[in-house]
Amino acid sequence: MARLMAPMAKRLITLLDSYRTSDGAYQLPTTVSAEALMNLALEISGDELAFFPKADEVIWAVARHEGYIIPDYPLDSNSEVKSFLEEYEATNTTDWYIRHGLSIMSITHFWLYSCFMARNLLFWRKLFVFKASDVSEVNALAKQVHDALIFCLSEQTSNDDPRLFAV
């Protein structure tokens, strides 16, 4: 299991901060591509950061990681899906996502969103959901990478943020 390269993550955070304008937006050099930034962030973070081009895939990745046998096209009525949702005290997939910090608007328009699932130093996980179009726009992606790496270096627990979960 590859762990976060903390010194490199801190350097990337510092670098991204240096390109943040006074209004909080990022203005990275035009020579930096979104693809390069994404690859660098994923390389630095090891197993601590996972990218999901489609945010609605996260729940099934978590379930499969926990050993549930989830079909390719899962339904809430599937026994494994039911067991997984019961473990998280969720009535359905929408409820699971709401409990992990997603808004109803993002859930009802899932096809428009991508997601990072980040794990911090104490092994708590957090979802960072953002517009799928941000993946191809380096300055928008910079904010998502920055926030996810900050979390990866943190020691937050579910007492600090109820949206955090352990896998």
What's the pLDDT at 105? 85
Look at residue 59 and tell me if it is in a domain: yes
Q: In the chain, how many domains are there?
A: 1
pLDDT at residue 111 in the model? 87
Instruction: Pull the structure tokens for residue 22.
Output: 């006074």
Instruction: Compute how many other C-beta atoms are within 10 angstroms of the C-beta atom of residue 92.
Output: 12
Q: Is 160 part of any domain?
A: no
Residue 84 to residue 70: CA distance in whole angstroms: 10
Whether the Cβ atoms of residue 61 and residue 50 lie closer than 8 Å to each other: yes
Count CB-CB contacts under 10 A for residue 1. Answer: 5
Full residue range of the structural domain in which residue 74 is found: 5-153
- Provide long-range contacts, Cβ within 8 A and 24+ apart, for 59-67: 59/93, 59/96, 59/97, 61/117, 62/117, 62/167, 65/167, 66/167
- pLDDT at residue 103, as a whole number: 87
**Residue 159 in domain:** no
Listed as ranges, residues in the chain with pLDDT below 50 are none
- The CA distance from 68 to 48, in Å, is 21
- Residue 95, exposed/middle/buried by CB under 10 A (0-12, 13-18, 19+)? middle
> Do the domain assignments include residue 163?
no
The residues with which 20 forms a beta bridge, in sequence order, are 26
12 falls within a domain = yes
> Do the domain assignments include residue 164?
no
Q: What is the pLDDT of residue 2?
A: 66
pLDDT at position 87, please? 92
Q: Is 161 inside any structural domain?
A: no
Who's near 166: CB < 8 A, 6+ residues apart? Answer: 123, 124, 125, 158
Domain membership of residue 95 (yes or no) is yes
Residue 3 DSSP symbol: P
